[in-house]
Each structure stands twice: as C-alpha cells, then as structure tokens.
Amino acid sequence: MNGTDLNTITSDGMKYNRAKYEAAQKGQATRKNDSLGKDAFLQLLVTQLRHQDPLSPDDNTQYIAQLAQFSSLEQMTQMVKGLGEVAKLVSNIDSSVLVGSLSNMIGKNIQWTHATKTTDKEGNPKTSSETFVGNVRGIKIIKGKTVVVAQDAKGKLHEVDISEIEAVADPPKPKASGK
C-alpha cells in the first residue's frame, strides 16, 4: 500500500483527494433532516427488502401497512401546511376589512376608557381607569393589532385599542353665522 491511498476517498465509485473532498463537503449547504422523508423511507424499505432472509421472508402486509401509514402522515402534514397558509390569508383579509371599516371613523369623535393594571404596596392587583374624548386622526396596525389614532382636546395623540372605544359620534357642525 502506498502513501497516496491514505489521502484518497472513494465515494459513489469515484476516487477523490481527501483534502479537496472534505473541503467540498464542508462548502456544500447541509440540510437539517430532523424527520424521515418520503425518499428516505422508501430507501429504507428497499434496503430492508434487499437484506431479508430468502428462506424466511417477512410478511408483505407489514410493508404495505407501513407505506400506507407513511402516506397518510405525509398527506396530513401537507394539509397542516395548507391550513396554516389559509389561516394567514384569512387573518390578512380580516385585517383589511377591519381597517376599511375603521377608516370610516376618521374625523369622528370617540370616547374611550383606558384601564391600567398595577399592584399596591402589598402586591395586590389594582386597576385604575381613565376616560378620554378625542377626534380620530387615523388607523394603525402595530404588530398585527389594529388601533385607532385619536387626538384629545389638548392635542396629544393616543393609540386606542378598539376594545376600549365606548362611543363614536360625528363632530359638531359649525354654527352658521347669522348674516
């Protein structure tokens, strides 16, 4: 045996220089494989069939049952992925409809109550609330949550949760001057 045999790797019937082969393998993107894929399952099944004892073959019904279970699992996995995409779509539609409906409130006066939860000196929960009145200036979506932007009488802007709104009214019309 010469010294070059230790520096070679045989893969798929081909001989490669060990250093170059290892560098190429490290350079390739490796896919994380946490689960048994369809191809891996079929490859395992074929290998199992290839190495079974010909004098005592395994029962084929076990293989068929395993294949049916795997097929069913794969279909359920695809269905779950599809339902996740449908849920995202419905959520986007809901947000769009909500923003469209709330945009009709721009320019209207609203009243809302904001509750603040705190604890007292003894650690007991305490809730305080404050009621505001303001004019709707816009609609915002913050981290997937839709809020109304309202300006109070002092000019301060508030991001109002929809659940806090208690009343909506048209602003008073300016009085006509008596000429």
Instruction: Say what the pLDDT of residue 2 is.
Output: 47
Burial of 147 (0-12, 13-18, 19+ CB in 10 A): middle
Instruction: Say what the pLDDT of residue 177 is.
Output: 67
Q: What is the pTM of this model?
A: 0.45
- Provide the 10 A C-beta neighbour count for residue 148: 25
Instruction: Say what the pLDDT of residue 98 is.
Output: 75
| 49/59 Cα distance (integer angstroms) | 11
Instruction: Say what the pLDDT of residue 158 is.
Output: 92
Interacting residues of 171 by C-beta distance below 8 A, sequence separation 6+? 107, 108, 109, 135
pLDDT tens series, the chain, 179 aa? 444 566 777 766 677 777 777 777 776 645 544 456 677 777 877 887 777 777 776 667 777 777 788 788 888 888 998 888 888 777 777 767 777 778 888 999 999 998 888 888 888 899 889 899 999 999 888 887 888 999 998 999 999 988 899 988 888 887 776 55
Instruction: Say what the pLDDT of residue 68 is.
Output: 80
Instruction: Say what the pLDDT of residue 3 is.
Output: 47
- Report the Cα 108 to chain-centroid distance in Å: 35
The answer to whether the Cα torsion of 162, 163, 164, 165 is positive or negative is positive
The ranges of the chain annotated as CATH 2.30.30 are 105-169
| 3/118 Cα distance (integer angstroms) | 76
Q: In CATH terms, is domain 105-169 a member of 2.40.50?
A: no
β-bridge mates for residue 103, sequence order = none
| 24/11 Cα distance (integer angstroms) | 13
Interacting residues of 134 by C-beta distance below 8 A, sequence separation 6+? 109, 110, 112, 150, 151, 152, 153, 158, 160
